[in-house]
Structure 1
Amino acid sequence: MRSLQLYRFLLRECEKLPPDACKHYKFSIKQSFKQHRFEPDSNRVKEIITKSIEDAKWVVNKYTKK
């Protein structure tokens, strides 16, 4: 998965959350992408992508179990 694909995926996952949580996580996603936009280390980018996917699944699971 590339960075832009990840960005789109994460924003779509936010739509599964309650409105307040959705707003919070969308803001967080946008800030993280701005922060890591010019990451030069490709291995670090892969780590960030993997961790982001895991975290997104955890958050969605957390809110859908209720």
Structure 2
Amino acid sequence: MTSLQLYKYLLRQCERLPPDACKHYKFSIKQSYKQHKSESDPERVKEIIAKSIEDAKWIVNKYTQK
């Protein structure tokens, strides 16, 4: 998965959240993308992608279990 694919995936996952949470996490995703888009170390990029996917699953699970 590329960083752009991750960005799109995370924004789509936000749509599964309540409106207030969706707005918050979309803002957070956009800020993180801007912060990390110049990362050039391939290993670091892989770590960021893996952690982001893991975090997204946890957040979606947190809101869908209520």
The TM-score bracket by the shorter chain reads: over 0.9
Name the residue aligned to 1:13. 13
Q: For residues 18 and 51 of structure 1, what CA distance do their matches in structure 2 show?
A: 22
Q: Which runs of 4+ in 1 moved over 6 A?
A: none
Q: Distance in 1 between matches of 2:2 and 2:60?
A: 21
Stretches of structure 1 lacking an aligned partner (at least 5 in a row): none
In 2: Cα distance, 1:54 partner to 1:43 partner? 17
Verify: 1:44 aligned to 2:44, yes or no.
Answer: yes
CA drift at 1:46: 0.2
Distance in 1, Cα, partners of 2:8 & 2:36: 16
Equivalent position SS for 2:11: helix
CA offset digits 1:35-66 (Å, max 9, x no partner)? 00100111000000000000000000000000
Partners of 1:4 and 1:36 in 2: how far apart? 11
Q: Return the offset for 1:33.
A: 0.3
Q: Which residue of 2 aligns with 1:28?
A: 28
How high is the TM-score relative to the length of structure 2?
0.98
Unaligned 5+ segments in structure 2 are none
